[in-house]
Structure 1
Amino acid sequence: MTRRHSPTQPPWGNAEAVFDRLEGAWQLMRTIEGQAEMRGVALFTREGPDSLHYREDGRVRLANGQSFDGHRDYRFERAPDGLAVFFAETPPRLFHAIALTADGDGWTGAATHLCTPDTYESRYRFLADGRFVIRHTVHGPRKAYVSETVFARGSV
């Protein structure tokens, strides 16, 4: 099913509404340039009014043809004008906070996370067609890659 949105009713609403519209199931397609791809499902489950548990499960295929099942968990929290993403640890540790700004009928935000000695430059884009994209550019002495994940209701 294709959702259509008029210019007066963008798919994400205002910056505060983006968080609530994440709830539910999303198909995901991730590419890690020159290294791997992953297809699967991401599920945002409500934990409270300002908290969502994120769980992704999928099939990873490496550039050499090997494949295996993979998963990842995070905690998303509502933040002023955006959202905060935490690692699924006890106690939770902040990955990054994303302040959203208007971008046409969508929203965009960026953040940096230092994972000593490597740096993650992350950009979130909530698109006018209802999809969203998370892009991590990772650089440092141990890591150098770009990971981009496209999330869509239905198939990607």
Structure 2
Amino acid sequence: MREPASPLPPLPPLSAWGTADTVFDRLAGAWDLERTIEGQASMSGVAVFTPLETGMLKYREEGRIRLADGKEFDGHREYFFERVPGGFAVHFAESPPRLFHAVGIVCDGDVLAGSATHLCTPDTYDSGYRFLPDGSFTIRHAVRGPRKDYLSATVFKRRGG
């Protein structure tokens, strides 16, 4: 006997990120990262979000950078991430920390996404974050101005995942 056809379409898979208010908590831990800087460089490495007593997450990435001319070297970068209602703020790892940008997260289909702009006179950084249903996420920075003009795109996948 044949099963009757279901009148409802299947539900989309639940996001590994939960809601805008749970994204911050799910960043903690280690991530493999792959970055391209359009026409200039690429980077492969590891990013770690470490919880601090202040409630912030310390972000540190380390990896191997390959320039378009074939030269390679090691590099690293650090930020502090802070929980804010409906998203997070990213601060430069300075003392005291200085705001890079604040990201409000919204639902965009089956993706959680947010964007922010930072003016680093005279250049502008337009940043986009996408938290994907499979648990990975991406960060894109479009940098435009008289000193800089490039697109940086980074894919993060949970280590060991």
TM-score in same-fold range (> 0.5): yes
Runs of 4+ in structure 1 deviating by more than 3 angstroms, as ranges, are 6-9
2:153 counterpart (134, 148, 154) = 148
2:37 counterpart (16, 28, 32) = 32
Give the Cα separation in 2 of the matches to 1:101 and 1:50: 22
Instruction: Look at both structures and tell me which one has the larger radius of gyration over its CA atoms.
Output: 2
1:65 maps onto 2:70 in alignment: yes
Matched AA of 1:9: L
Aligned pairs (5 A) from 1:70-149: 70-149=75-154
TM-score, with length taken from structure 1: 0.92
1:19 counterpart (18, 24, 33) = 24
Per-residue deviation at 1:155?
Answer: 7.1
Cα deviations by residue, 1:101-137 (Å, 9 ceiling, x for unpaired): 0122321011100000000000000011111000000
Cα deviations by residue, 1:83-111 (Å, 9 ceiling, x for unpaired): 00000001110000000001223210111
Give the Cα separation in 2 of the matches to 1:61 and 1:72: 16
TM-score, with length taken from structure 2: 0.89
Aligned counterpart, 2:6: none
Give the Cα separation in 1 of the matches to 2:59 and 2:20: 19
Matched AA of 1:73: E
Contact 1:16/1:82 (<8 A) preserved? yes
Per-residue deviation at 1:80?
Answer: 1.0
Per-residue deviation at 1:49?
Answer: 6.7
CA RMSD of aligned residues (A): 1.6
Partner secondary structure for residue 17 of structure 2: coil
Cα deviations by residue, 1:10-67 (Å, 9 ceiling, x for unpaired): 2000111000000000000000000000000000000037310000000000000000
Cα deviations by residue, 1:69-88 (Å, 9 ceiling, x for unpaired): 00000000001100000000
Length, aligned pairs only? 151
Matched AA of 2:39: G
Give the Cα separation in 2 of the matches to 1:71 and 1:98: 23
Partner secondary structure for residue 129 of structure 1: coil
Partner secondary structure for residue 15 of structure 1: coil
Aligned counterpart, 1:48: 53
Contact 1:11/1:106 (<8 A) preserved? no
Percent identity over the alignment is: 63
**Structure 2: gaps (5+ residues):** 1-10
